[in-house]
Structure 1
Amino acid sequence: MLSPAVPGDRSGTHVYATLDGLRGIAAALIAIRHAGPLFPGWEFPHSPLAVDLFFVISGFVIASAYDRRLENGLTPMGFMKLRLIRLYPLYLAGLLLGLAAGMLCWLTGTDPRLSAATLMGPFLVGLLILPSPFTWNNETFPLNPPAWSLFFELAINYIYAVAYRRVTKARLIGATCIFGALLLIMSLNDMGLDEGHSWPHFSTGFVRVVFSFSAGLLLFRIRRRVNISSSGSVLVIGLAGATLAMPNLGQWYSLVAITLWIPVLVFFATMVEPGARVRRACLLLGQISYPLYVLHSPAAVIVESALARVGVVHPNAVIGVIFLGSMMVIALWTDRFIKALIGDRFRGERRMQSSRPDIGGSPAVTTSNALQ
C-alpha cells in the first residue's frame, strides 16, 4: 500500500518510524563502544559512523518539520528556542552526570589528573553547550565527550535557519560535493574520519556535519512516496546495524560509508514505513536514542569505577548487557519525565519523533580517555 510522503511531512506531521529504528540501533552500538571495559571482546571499530548517520537523519527530519514553518515566518531565534527546548534538558542531565562521574574519579583517585578546579571549568563552559578550553584529556567536552556532536548539531541548525531561503537543491549538491571532496582529501592524508570530538581534530567534526546534514536536507528535497513494508523497514535497519558493526575495514570503508552508503540507507529508510508491530518497536527505539546517547558515557564511567572499588577489574559481557538494558530503561524514563516536566513548552517539538542523535550527535562518537 502506498501513501504520499507529502502532504504531511512539510509541516512535521509525518513520522518516519524507520528512521527512529535506525537511531535506536546506532545509539545502542555507540553505548557499547564507549562502555568498552564492560563489553570485553565486543569491538565495533566503525561504530563512530553513527554520528554521520545521525546527522543525515537530522538534516532530513529538520527539513521535514521546519521548512514550511520557516517559510511561514518562524524566525531563526524562534527555531533555535524550539531546538533548545528539545535538546538542552537531557544535555544538562548528561553534563551533571558527567560532573558526578568526574568527582567520583577524583575522590577515589581513579584519575590523578582530576581536581575540583579541573572539573569546574568544563562544567561552567558546558552549561553554555560550548567546547571547553579547560580539558585534561583533549576532549572538547571532557565531562561528557559525546556532547561534541550536540554543539555541531545546534551550530548547523542555526546556519540552516538563517540561510533557509538560500538553501536550494543546487547549493546542497554543491555543498555535498565540496565537503565530500574534503573528506576524500582527509582520507588520503590518513586523517581519521571518526574524529571531531578532540581539540586536535575539531575541524574534522565541522566537515562531517556539513556534509552529512547537507546530504539529509538534499534527501528531503528529492524524497519519494512511502511504501508500508515491515520487511523492508527491518532490512534497512539491519543493514545500518551491520554497517556500524563491521570489523576494521580501513579508512576507505569509512569514506565510502559516509559519502555514499549511509545517505543511500537513509534515503531508503524514508521510503519504507513498518507495519503496526514493527512501528511500535521503532518508535520506542527512537524515543530512547537521544537520552541513551547523552547519558551512557558518564554512566559507564560510574559503573566501571564502582566495579573497580569492589574488585571487579575485568567484568564479563553479561555485566555489559545488564548495563545497556538498564540504560535503555533509564533513557526511556528520563525522556518521559523531562517531556512531562516541560509540558506545553515541549509541544512545539513533539512532532519531531526522529529529529536526531539527537544523535551530534551524536548518538556520540568519541574515543575519550578518562571519560570513555
Structure 2
Amino acid sequence: MNSAATGERFEVLDSWRGVCAIMVVIYHFIFIVDTPFLQNEFILNSYLFVDFFFVLSGFVVCHAYRDRIRDRRQFTGFLLRRIGRLWPLHLAILFAMMLGVMAINVIGYHPERLLIDAKSGNYSLRALLLNAFLLNSMGFYGSAWNGPAWSIGAEFYTYFLFALVVLTARRKLLLVSSALAVGAVAIIVVFAPAYMNSTADFGYIRCIAGFFTGVGAYHLHAALRHRRLPFATPLELASLALAAAFIVAAGRGPDKAHVLSVLAPLAFALPILVFAREGGLASRLMRLDPLQALGRWSFSIYLIHMPVLVLAVSYGLWLHGDLAGIDLRREVIVDGVAKQLYDVGPVGAGVLLVLVVALVVALAALSFRLVEVPWRDRFARLARVQEKPLRLLPSARMAPRYGAPVPVRVKRR
C-alpha cells in the first residue's frame, strides 16, 4: 500500500516546524545582541531545533516516497522534486546576501569581519562557490555566508542517500535506516568536537543521524496509525515537557555541548510520533491559522533570518555606533566563553528582537510566494515528465537515415 495514499498531511507537525524556525531565529539573535536570554539554557541550546527539522524531514519524506521510488525514473523524479524544494530559494537568498555584502564592500565603510576575500574569511569567494553547490556541510570550509544553510546542503545529499537506499534495499529500509542513524551518532560521539553542534564540519553526519531516525519513527507510526491514541492531550504535553527537559540538559550552549546532545534525534522523534496523530488539545491549537502560516513559511524563515541579522542588525548597529562615535559592542562572558555582543539595553534588545522576527516573517511570506512555490512547482512538473513510463511519452518522429531517400511532395497541377 502506498504510504502517501493514506491521506495524512501532518499539518500539526508543519506548525511545529514554524515554531522551531522562530526559535532558531531567537537563538542566533542572542549571539549578536546582548539579551537576558543568554542566561536561559533552553534558548542557549536552541541550536538543537535543527535536529527537529532533520527528524521531521525523514518522517515526512519516508511517508511520501518509500513506496514511490522503484526505478531510475522515479529516483530521478524524486531528486528533481528535492532540488526544486531546496536549491532555488537557497540560491536566491545567497545571491541577495552576496549583493548586500558586495555593496558594503564597494562603499568601503564596514567592520573588518564583513570584508570579502578570495580564499578565507566568512565572505570568501571559495566559500561562496561551496555554498552555491550545497557543499557547505562536508568539512571543506567553515561556516560562511548564510551560515545556517549548511543544513540545507546536508539535507539534500541525505535525500540522495535515502533514495538510493529505497531503490536498492526497499524491503530492508528500516534495518538500513537504523544502522545509518546509529552509525552516524557513533561517528559524532567519537570524532565531532562539538557533538550535536556540528555544522560545517560534521553537519552531513548529523543530518544522517536525524533524518534516518525520522525514517524509523515513520515505520513505527505506520504500524500504529490505525490504533487509537489514548490520553492524547496528556501525552502531547508530556512529550513536549520531555523534549524541553532534554534541551535544557544537553549542555550550556553551543560552546559547551554535552555528549548527551547526540540523543537529540530520539528526543524529537517522541513528540513527532505523538503529534502525528493530531488527537489532543495541543494539536488543535497548532492548527490555528497563524501557526499554520508559520509552518508554510518555515523554510523561508530559516534561510532568510541570518542575512537579516548580518546586514540589518549587526551592520546597522555597527554603523549607528560608528556614526555616533560610540562603541556598542562589549565583551560578554557566556559560561566562561567571551562573546562580542551589541549592548542596546534589555528593553532595546526586546524591541529589536520583535522587529527582527516580524521582518523575517514578512520577507519569508514574500519569498514563499515569489520564489519557493513557483520554482517548486516548475521542478515538480519536470519530475512528473521524468516519472512517466516511456510507453506513455509521445514518440519522437524517426529521422531519415543517411543515404535513405527523402520523400518529396509534388504539387499536382
What TM-score, normalized to structure 1?
0.76
Aligned length: 333
Aligned to 1:366: none
CA distance in 2, matches of 1:232, 1:108: 56
Which amino acid in 1 is paired with 2:316? A
Q: How many Å apart are 1:19 and its aligned residue?
A: 1.4
Aligned to 1:4: none
Q: How many Å apart are 1:244 and its aligned residue?
A: 8.1
Q: Which has the higher contact order (CA 8 A, sep 6+)?
A: 1
Q: Are the aligned partners of 1:11 and 1:66 in contact in 2 as well (CA < 8 Å)? A: no
Q: 2:258 aligned to 246, 251, 261, which one?
A: 251
Change (3 A) 1:193 1:328: same
* Aligned-pair Cα RMSD in Å: 3.5
Which amino acid in 1 is paired with 2:206? R
Q: How many Å apart are 1:232 and its aligned residue?
A: 6.5
Which amino acid in 1 is paired with 2:28? H
Q: Are the aligned partners of 2:134 and 2:154 in contact in 1 as well (CA < 8 Å)? A: no
Q: Are the aligned partners of 2:83 and 2:379 in contact in 1 as well (CA < 8 Å)? A: no
Which amino acid in 2 is paired with 1:40? T
Aligned to 1:40: 35
Aligned to 2:125: 120
Change (3 A) 1:74 1:18: farther
Deviations for 1:5-61, whole angstroms, at most 9, x for unmatched residues?
xx7752484211221122111111111122222462223221111121111111111
| Counterpart check, 1:301 vs 2:310 | yes
Deviations for 1:95-125, whole angstroms, at most 9, x for unmatched residues?
1233134335533231257236464333344
Deviations for 1:111-156, whole angstroms, at most 9, x for unmatched residues?
2572364643333443322239999xx524x111111111111111
Aligned to 1:362: none
Aligned to 1:139: 142
Q: Are the aligned partners of 1:38 and 1:319 in contact in 2 as well (CA < 8 Å)? A: no
Q: Are the aligned partners of 1:39 and 1:320 in contact in 2 as well (CA < 8 Å)? A: no
Aligned to 2:78: 79
Give the secondary structure class of the aligned counterpart of 2:195: coil
CA distance in 2, matches of 1:232, 1:98: 44
Which amino acid in 1 is paired with 2:101? G
Which amino acid in 2 is paired with 1:51? V
Identity of aligned residues (%): 21
Q: Kindly name which structure, 1 or 2, has the bigger radius of gyration based on alpha carbons.
A: 2
Aligned to 2:25: 31
| Counterpart check, 1:21 vs 2:24 | no
Which amino acid in 1 is paired with 2:12? T
CA distance in 1, matches of 2:260, 2:137: 31
Give the secondary structure class of the aligned counterpart of 1:48: helix
| Counterpart check, 1:320 vs 2:353 | yes
Q: Are the aligned partners of 1:80 and 1:158 in contact in 2 as well (CA < 8 Å)? A: yes
Aligned to 1:335: 368
Q: 2:194 aligned to 189, 192, 214, which one?
A: 192
CA distance in 1, matches of 2:233, 2:97: 39
Change (3 A) 1:235 1:74: farther
Q: How many Å apart are 1:302 and its aligned residue?
A: 0.9
Q: 2:277 aligned to 271, 296, 316, which one?
A: 271
CA distance in 1, matches of 2:88, 2:159: 18
Aligned to 1:222: 220
CA distance in 2, matches of 1:333, 1:241: 32
Deviations for 1:249-283, whole angstroms, at most 9, x for unmatched residues?
55044233x15312222222222253487253442
Deviations for 1:270-300, whole angstroms, at most 9, x for unmatched residues?
2225348725344212112100111111111
Change (3 A) 1:241 1:89: farther
- The aligned runs of 1:44-59 (5 Å cut-off) are 44-59=43-58
Aligned to 2:335: none
Aligned to 1:352: none
Which amino acid in 1 is paired with 2:270? V
Q: Are the aligned partners of 1:152 and 1:206 in contact in 2 as well (CA < 8 Å)? A: yes
Change (3 A) 1:111 1:161: same
CA distance in 1, matches of 2:74, 2:64: 14
Change (3 A) 1:308 1:230: farther
